[in-house]
Chains A and B, each alone.
Chain A
Amino acid sequence: MSKSKETSTIKTAVLPAKSGTKKAILDFLKNAMDKKNFDAVIIPMRVPAGDSFVYVLIKDVSLLKDAFPLSPVMSVQGARVVSSVTRLGKGDMKIAAVMRPCEIRATIELAKFGQVDLENVTLISMDCPGVMPISDFLSDPEKGMKLFDDAVTSWDDSIMRPVCKICDKSSMIAGDIHIGTLGAKKDTFFMIPKTQKGNDTLEKSDIKIDADLDEWHNKVTTLSEEKKKKRNSANKDLKVKTGGIDNLIDTFSQCINCHNCMKVCPICFCRLCYFDSENVKHSAENYLQIAENKGSIRFLPDTILFQTGRMMHMSVSCVSCGSCEDACPASIPVGQIFSMIADETQKAFDYVSGRDINEPTPLVAYKKDELHEMEDAHD
């Protein structure tokens, strides 16, 4: 992927969307596939029963008409999808992946960890109004479709995942092309190339990239500022509720150790988690000894160790997608907590997860001055 450009200097394409943005995006993809710019597309589709949406790798262009670029739910985080397709080899297909910004950012994090090969993949993101909690959608899919459609028009986030309501990166361009609907004139939308690959893709589709981005940019900045305010106040409350070890224990008191949060997390890619490994398993006598020290222990023990441990391991790359919260059978606000902590850890390293593929992950890269810091500490 080529070096990214500053947003302010980026030009955009303006495309017509007389029959709606969804149709226009699908037409663009179909056209690009017909021209062999892409061999396949990764995009959400509704399942036969209609009660959810899943990612499908589509090669047969006729299947595209049933695709849903902006699905109401995120049943699987898109980064896991791109990883599944490319982890064992980039393959010989050129693939376009149409996903939410947080999914693209997680994909980029996974690429940094060697779990994704982006050489043949073009990442296409879009302005994201959020996704609904999957259980809300499931309880009445038809109503869910309607609510979501309305929310896409009104940009009202009240039905979305809690982390979506306070997401200030819902229009962040991290992939190759971004589809902008905010600030677009009636019956049009923006296609914003971010990388050389994105630029080439649009040019190959004979799309002119000559318009100004100001309208979109202003709208996005305003929205992002609003969300940031909401985010700060939500996090303040959450900190009070969950801060300190007692509150933390209470927050996770209903955790049943299923580790669903970890399984669906796009960043937690380890095949064997440390917290499922032999290192955390002990003999009965050991467990009894630990119990005797306190009078009793919760069994399984180590609930908080797992939660804070996982946090330490992935927080710097957390993209605040909220998949963990969707998957938690005990309705623990795990996504909100992880998202809040991620803000702090990423700030400490001046890092934004998935912002830029060329930015190394802080914990695997050393900077010269960090070495000095270390030396000083030992003086």
Chain B
Amino acid sequence: MTKALKINKNAEQGIKEFLRFLLESGKVKGVFSLKKINKEGAVAYSLITDPKDLEDSVPFYPVMPVTAGSLLSRFTLKGSPDKPVVAVMRPCELRGFVELVKREQGSFENVFTISMTCGGVYPLDMAVDKKIEKNLPKYWDAVKKSEIPADVRTACKGCTEFKPYTADMTVDLVGNKDIDKQCIILLNTKNGESLADGMDAEFLEKKLDTKKLDVLLDKRAVEKKKLFDEIDKKMNGMDGLIDIFGRCIGCHGCMRVCPICYCKLCEFESPDSEYKPSNYNSELKKRGGVRVPPGTMYFQLGRLTHISISCVGCGACDDVCPVDIPVSTIFKKVGESVQKIFNYIPGKDVKESIPLVTFEKEEFIEFEE
């Protein structure tokens, strides 16, 4: 059992009221949340300091224009806030931020997190086509019933980690039939408890209904297996990979939106990866023809090697790909197999070190032998 806060309003109004309390009481200096930023209803992450501006916030809006992990990294990299700031983010976004913090690309100092059991988000192009708003009733209906809402991101359909590991507070959404009437916020940490302290609401002891979460988990696991099996058939050796990535236009958008790819200068955009005339000559000698710019596959496989240990499966790469390559399915599938070898779950615990930067004694022995 955990301490929890019950606000007798629908989940979104409830969380907004809580955020307003946090800002008005001065417990936090700012709030990170999705917010409607114009009359047309475009939704973007915003840093909100005035409680009045919370009016247009839509903390649970099912879209992820940018991963909040990357945003918090930008926010804290050059110095943490003096006073607490609270961020509402999805479990995969939180995991992404944890991985960034491990890489010293951000800090939890004075950054508190509210996450939720997550129903998934719609692809960016649905936001662009303004198709999300009218889908919202269906979306919330599916979330209540522990179902996968139709048309959510591919990555979300097969996501089995929709319950946050380390959030200070978790909003109970998946499988919760009462989200139209009440907002239950679990206070997982001391920080969570102290933030909630003084809020004019009901305090109770509560835990997430695992049965209802398991219903969704099973559905997602089936979906994930289907996705992995499909891509497995296509990824058949080098030829299969060329068929999948052949249409890549080299924009590297996948890398730029990836919460794990934080490098300022990617190896594959560095002078090391550029072809000199001699490189072209030797390639031409071997094959008679060379695709220019070179290194399409090298980039994809290289990035896969670099980040798969920490891939949180958020699907931001899918959203941004202008040629609809199923990047996230491939990265998640390879990612999980690498993570399994090291018994590592990215973003689960900020104190757990990244396998590729630590050595264990027995690994040395393996090496010697």
Interface residues of chain A, those whose CB is within 8 Å of chain B, are 40, 42, 45, 47-49, 51-52, 54-60, 62-63, 75-76, 80-81, 84-93, 134-135, 138, 249-250, 253-254, 256-260, 263-264, 271-272, 281-288, 291-292, 295-300, 326-331
Contacts and interface: CB of A to CB of B under 8 A. Distances in A.
Top 3 closest A-B pairs, CB basis? A60-B288, A91-B277, A295-B50
17 contacts: A84-B294, A91-B277, A138-B323, A249-B38, A250-B38, A253-B40, A253-B42, A256-B124, A256-B257, A272-B264, A281-B78, A285-B82, A286-B78, A288-B85, A292-B49, A298-B37, A326-B322
Contact of B249 (A76, A81, A285, A296): A76
B124 A330 contact: yes
Interface string B172-208: 0000000000000000000000000000000000000
B293 A76 contact: yes
B46 A85 contact: no
B277 A284 contact: no
Contact of B128 (A86, A135, A259, A331): A331
B327 to A, nearest CB: 12
A59 B288 contact: yes
Contact of B47 (A42, A45, A287): A287
Given A296-B47, A329-B322, 7 more contacts: A49-B242, A49-B243, A59-B288, A256-B319, A264-B249, A281-B78, A291-B30
A56 B291 contact: yes
Interface in B238-283: 239, 242-244, 246-247, 249-253, 256-257, 264-265, 269, 274-277, 280-281
Contact of B49 (A138, A296, A326): A296
Contacts of B10: none
Contacts of B294: 84
Given A90-B277, A134-B249, A299 B45 contact: yes
A48 B284 CA distance: 19
B293 A81 contact: yes
Given A297-B47, A331-B128, A263 B252 contact: yes
A260 B251 contact: yes
Contacts of A286: 78
Given A56-B290, A253-B42, A51 B265 contact: no
B44 interface: yes
Interface stretch (B68-76, B114-122, B333-341, B348-356): B68-76
A75 B276 contact: no
Contacts of A85: 275, 277, 280, 292
A281 B78 CA distance: 7
B interface residue count range (under 10 / 10 to 19 / 20 to 34 / 35 or more) = 35 or more
Nearest to A43: B289
A329 B249 contact: no
B4 interface: no
A283 B79 contact: yes
Given A55-B292, A85-B280, A272-B265, A250 B247 contact: no
A45 B292 CA distance: 11
B226 interface: no
A285 B293 contact: no
Contacts of A40: 284
Given A250-B40, A327-B249, A256 B320 contact: yes
A42 B290 CA distance: 9
A90 B78 CA distance: 42
Which of B39, B289, B291, B293 counts the most chain A CB atoms within 10 A? B289
B125 A81 contact: no
Interface of B: 29-30, 32, 35, 37-40, 42, 44-50, 52-53, 65-66, 71, 74-82, 85, 110, 124-125, 127-128, 239, 242-244, 246-247, 249-253, 256-257, 264-265, 269, 274-277, 280-281, 284, 287-294, 319-324
Contacts of B288: 58-60, 62-63
B215 to A, nearest CB: 33
A57 B52 contact: no
B284 A57 contact: yes
Nearest to B242: A48
B323 A134 contact: yes
Nearest to B48: A296
A247 B40 CA distance: 11
Contacts of A291: 30, 47-49
A134 B49 CA distance: 41
Given A264-B251, A284-B78, A284-B81, A134 B322 contact: yes
Contacts of A134: 249, 322-323
Contacts of A48: 239, 242-243, 246
B50 A296 contact: yes
Nearest to A250: B38
Given A138-B324, A254-B128, A60 B247 contact: no
Nearest to B283: A57
Contact of B251 (A49, A263, A282): A263
Given A272-B265, A298-B44, A51 B247 contact: yes
A295 B246 contact: no
Contacts of B77: 281
Contact of B276 (A57, A88, A250, A271): A88
B233 to A, nearest CB: 14
Nearest to A297: B47
B253 A258 contact: yes
A57 B280 CA distance: 9
A55 B291 contact: yes
Contacts of A49: 242-244, 246-247
Contacts of A327: 249, 251, 253, 322
A219 B116 CA distance: 63
A77 to B, nearest CB: 10
Contacts of B284: 40, 57, 59-60
